Each structure stands twice: as structure tokens, then as C-alpha cells.
Chains A and B, each alone.
Chain A
């Protein structure tokens, strides 16, 4: 589903990623591990072009999204992202946070369809064989209604339905991160990128976020997770990769990765953290 070919990223003269290639299939849960400054977060942020790659290709659903000419906004809808610092919209309530993107995107599509239809209607006057109009089956109110229903069911899933109308500033870190995760779920993405989702949380709250991620994993969501939670990687991932100095030094199943590491740098790293 995602095919990364020789991805490179430079910040000025600083080479952060030196040719990363990896294939990610549907349903894969990939954990990315590495020392700080190794480029693992940059790698993740390049995947949805939050940082524009300076070289290489990212083939996502058959399209090279590293290409500057591609409308990245359309592809980002299918690629959720969860941040270390949650980044909930502070000026929106919890439920608005979740509904904002689905409503906006669908209303935009609706507007676009109506516009094309108007144009087709006018040009049809001069056409012999009339061009067909795009069928419009919904309206704004219906979209809003649907998004709201979905948002409520998502909130119920994480047990925060009673917090729907409060602002994010009143939530705890773990609650914020769970809301952030369902916010990305609301777009029904093909893959979710997690950028150290538990690093900014109290130890007490790490569990609730990891539980939610595990339940997503069981449902077959494709996930790419940058994390320092070795136990979580061992338990959930079906592939673990080790990045250092902008390169993938080891890529293996979790069992192989933790019990039988081959790369000397990885051995050293694991001996420090385990």
C-alpha cells in the first residue's frame, strides 16, 4: 500500500534521511525504533509530506505523493496522523475537533459537484448528445448529521461521550491523545501514522492510549508507529525497524528483532534500553 523508495531528506547541508526504502502492506503494524536524532520522526513526517522529501518516491495507493505537483491534501485524507503533543484544535470543542475535517471535506466535494453540474447544464444547451450530470444524493444538513453520529459513536468507543461539548484544555493528556486518535479515525483513513503518541504522557495515562491503539490493531488498521515503548512494539507490531543516521539498519519481525538482533548498533541500543 505504501512503497517508499530511496527516500531522502536534507535540511540545508544536514542529511537526515539517507535513502530509506520500505514496503508497507495493508494491515501491517510497523514500529519504528531508534535513538533520538536518528531521523525516525522525520521519516514519519515525510510519509505524509509534512516535511517535503528532497529525494526518492513515496508510492501511496499507486500515486507518488512525494511529487510536488500532486495535491497532497487529497491523499492526506487517507492518511491519519497522531502527534506527540496531541495538537487538538484549541478553539473547537471535542466533538467539533472530530467532525471538522469530515464535514469540511464532504461539503467541499458537494460544492465542487454542484459547480461542475452547473457548467455541464450550460454547455449541454449547445451539445447534441447531452453529458450526464453528477448525481447529488446528499445535502449539507445530512452530511453534518452523519458526521455527528459518527463522532458520537467514536467518542462512545473511547468512553468520552460526556466530554463531547467541552474544550480540549479541560481534558487530561491521555484523554486528549485518545480524542486525537479518533479524530484521525473519523476520516476513515487507510493508514495512521503515530509520532511518539505516548512520549508526552504521564506513565499512568500511557496504558489507556496503548489499549486504544491495540484495539485498532486488532481491527486490522494499518499503522506506522514511532515509539519508545519496546513492550508495545514486541506485543503488537508485525514488523519492527531500527533507524539510525537516516538509514534502516535492521528490519525484522519483533521476535527476531528483540531476541536475535544482527546489527551491532542495534545490539548496543537494545542493551541500553531493555
Chain B
């Protein structure tokens, strides 16, 4: 194990003395920003799509919107995240003539992508809420949208929180592909440390540990949130 100690020393030297931790912190920041903002955009888009898809469909406009949403979900679930990143960064944005930093592109793509997944999660959540809730809201004179926002979606979110947590965890881990478009995330930082010392064992190990800690923290946060949302049930 003497070999390992040597490797560890080398890592610590780069990590601390040569300011490697700055890179790591920056990578961590980017990873979190991409995942968190991606999730927020995803929840907004997902809720919107899910709402559109549960609107009764005997009028023309909901049908058109529904068709568009199906197309959107199909597109984003049908291609890998890496492909979406590459297409956006190297194809779509140049065609539109927009210059965007790679981190922002990553946030956008992660948001659009998770929106597609969350829309299905949210739809199942909305369908899990008793139909009588919507009827009661409509019966006191609230509109479809108001009842959705004030009554149905809060209850739906409570039901899907564990699944939503899953999505967030998946997002955190999937951020490791953003280096494809040159965004500096955790993986890039540790890769850099590794290639400086020609020694990858310890950096990658530390990287894995950081990911695990992140995910554990998130699961803990979700558990706390769930508990506070459960106060309207007897099950607490």
C-alpha cells in the first residue's frame, strides 16, 4: 500500500498546494448550478405540459397543444442527453446565430430534457389526485387553471416527491457529460488534477465520494421536505 500513500500525497499536493481545490469548487458549483436550474426549468416545463395533457380534449386548441407536447416529449426522451447537448451547442445555436457560454447551454438542455421526463411524472401525479378535487374547485366557481394551481398540483407534487427526487439525483449524475461541450464540471476538475500528475486513481475516487455525498444530502433534503408536506395527512 506504500504505492497508494505516494499517490495520495501527490494528489494532496496538487489539490491543496497547487490550488487544485479551486478547480474542484468551481466544478462543483457548475455541477450544482446545471442540475438545480435544470431541475427548476424542468419542473416548470413539466408542469405546463402535464397540465396541457390532462385538459379535456373536445376543443381544437387543447388538441393542437397536446399534439405539440407529445412531439416534444417524444423528441427529448428519444435521444440521449449527450446528443442533445451536442446538437444544441454545435448545430442549433450556431444556426440561430446565438452565442452562449457552455454552462448556460447545459442548463438549457438539462431543463428541456428533464421537462420531458417530469411532465410524465407530473401527469401521473395529477391523475393520482381524486377527480372530486377538481370538481369541487370548479363547483365553487374557480377556473380550471386556478383549481389546478391551488388545489390539484400541490397535492400532486406531494404524491410525486420521491420520484421527483429520483429525477434530481439522475440530473446531478448526468451533469458529468457536460464536458462534451466544454463546460467545467466536477469531472473536468478531477480529470485536470489527474492529468497534471499522470495519476488518476485518487482523483477519481474522491470524485466518486463527492457524488455520493451530494446524492445522500439530496435524499435527506427530500425526506425532510416530504415530512413537512405530509402535515395535511394523518400519516405523520
Chain A residues engaging chain B, CB cutoff 8 angstroms: 48, 50, 73-74, 76-77, 80-81, 83, 85-92, 100-101, 104-105, 167, 169-170, 180, 183-184, 187
A50, B138: Cα distance in complex, Å: 8
* Contacts between the two chains (Cβ within 8 Å), count: 71
Q: What are 26 residue pairs bridging A and B, where the CB atoms are less than 8 Å apart in the complex?
A: A50-B135, A73-B141, A73-B143, A74-B141, A76-B138, A77-B141, A80-B139, A81-B136, A85-B132, A86-B132, A87-B135, A87-B136, A88-B136, A89-B137, A89-B151, A90-B155, A91-B151, A91-B158, A100-B150, A167-B231, A167-B232, A167-B233, A169-B232, A169-B234, A170-B234, A187-B141
A92, B146: Cα distance in complex, Å: 14
* Selected contact of A183 from candidates B132, B135, B138, B140, CB within 8 Å: B140
Chain A residues contacting B146 (CB-CB under 8 Å) are: 104
A66, B150: Cα distance in complex, Å: 27
Given the known inter-chain contacts A91-B151, A100-B150, please indicate yes or no for A81 contacting B143, CB distance below 8 A.
no
A88, B139: Cα distance in complex, Å: 12
> B221 interface residue, CB < 8 Å from A?
no
- CB pair A187 B135 closer than 8 Å: no
Given the known inter-chain contacts A89-B151, A91-B154, A91-B155, please indicate yes or no for A80 contacting B231, CB distance below 8 A.
no
Given the known inter-chain contacts A73-B142, A81-B139, A105-B141, please indicate yes or no for A87 contacting B231, CB distance below 8 A.
no
A240, B110: Cα distance in complex, Å: 61
Chain B residues engaging chain A, CB cutoff 8 angstroms: 130, 132-133, 135-143, 146, 150-151, 154-155, 158, 231-234
Q: Which residue of A is nearest B151, CB measured?
A: A89
- CB pair B232 A90 closer than 8 Å: yes
A83, B133: Cα distance in complex, Å: 11
CB of A185, distance to nearest CB on chain B (Å): 11
Q: Which residue of A is nearest B153, CB measured?
A: A91
- CB pair B141 A76 closer than 8 Å: yes
Q: Which residue of B is nearest A89, CB measured?
A: B151
Chain B residues contacting A170 (CB-CB under 8 Å) are: 234
Q: Is the interface of B mostly helix, strand, loop or mixed?
A: helix
* Selected contact of B140 from candidates A80, A91, A167, A169, CB within 8 Å: A80
Which of A76, A80, A81, A89 has the largest count of B CB atoms less than 10 A from its CB? A89
Given the known inter-chain contacts A100-B150, A169-B234, please indicate yes or no for A87 contacting B132, CB distance below 8 A.
yes
Chain B residues contacting A184 (CB-CB under 8 Å) are: 139-140
Chain A residues contacting B142 (CB-CB under 8 Å) are: 73, 100-101, 104-105
- CB pair B133 A101 closer than 8 Å: no
- CB pair B232 A48 closer than 8 Å: no
Which of B133, B143, B158, B232 has the largest count of A CB atoms less than 10 A from its CB? B232
Chain A residues contacting B150 (CB-CB under 8 Å) are: 100, 104
Given the known inter-chain contacts A87-B133, A91-B154, please indicate yes or no for A76 contacting B233, CB distance below 8 A.
no
CB of A151, distance to nearest CB on chain B (Å): 13
CB of A193, distance to nearest CB on chain B (Å): 8
Given the known inter-chain contacts A83-B132, A169-B234, please indicate yes or no for A101 contacting B155, CB distance below 8 A.
no
Chain A residues contacting B155 (CB-CB under 8 Å) are: 90-91
